[in-house]
Structures are given as structure tokens and as C-alpha cells.
Amino acid sequence: MIYYLNDKSFNEINKRIEILINQGLVNPYIGKVKKSQPIIIESVNKHARLHGITLEQAQGFVDTSEIMFDQGNRCMYLSNDGSASIIIENRRLISAYGREHFDPAIKAILEVLDNV
């Protein structure tokens, strides 16, 4: 699904995610939502491989994401097909999950996106 997001949309998304955090549905360390910035994954750690996601699949999650969560030195890219967490400095993939492994928190975030 393609979302037509602008600055106002991102503010609204962050407000709604803050509500989910306050309700205990989303981890408070999720970070702030921002517009996805292009990045090419250059390496993969062992943990990222544990979930059966290939580098190509993870790059696809990044490339098709419209949002990312800024978590300081890393970002989590979220698409409808999966998520990929990357350490920005060295472009290292540290975690990736396909849609079938989304937990209730990620599903709640996707619902927010569907309703903005």
C-alpha cells in the first residue's frame, strides 16, 4: 500500500504511536517516525539471518518502505512486506522480519498508517 504522507501526516502518526506507547502496546524505544531515506545495506549480522530473510529481501523492505523509525544510531524501516533494522554508520543489517512475523505492536502501527 502506498501512503501519501506529508509533514502533517508524520506529526499525526507520531501522536498516535505515542498513544499506543502510553497504552503499553508499543515499545517506548521504537523511535520517531520519519520519511524513509534511501540506504543500501552493505553487510548483515548473524541475528538478521536467523529469521530466514535474505539480503535482497531486506533491501526490498527498505526500498519499499515509506516510513522509518529513527532510533539514534540505527533505523527500523517498515514496509507492508517486512521490516529491516540497520545501523546507519556502517549500513549493517541487524534484524529483519517478514510480514508473517509482525507482532501486535507492528500490526497496530500499520493500522495507524492505514487510518492517517
| Residues 40-57: tens digit of each pLDDT | 999 988 777 777 888 999
Alpha helices in 23-69 (DSSP H): 46-49, 55-64
Predicted local confidence at residue 51, as pLDDT: 78
Report whether pLDDT(104) > 80.
yes
> Could you give the CA distance from residue 55 to residue 19 in angstroms, rounded to a whole number?
33
Please tell me whether the overall predicted TM-score, pTM, comes out greater than 0.95 for this model.
Answer: no
Q: Is 1 exposed, middle or buried (0-12, 13-18, 19+ CB in 10 A)?
A: exposed
Contact present, 33 and 7 (Cβ < 8 Å): no
What average pLDDT does this structure show over 89-99? Answer: 93
E strands in the chain:
32-35, 43-44, 67-70, 74-78, 82-87, 92-98
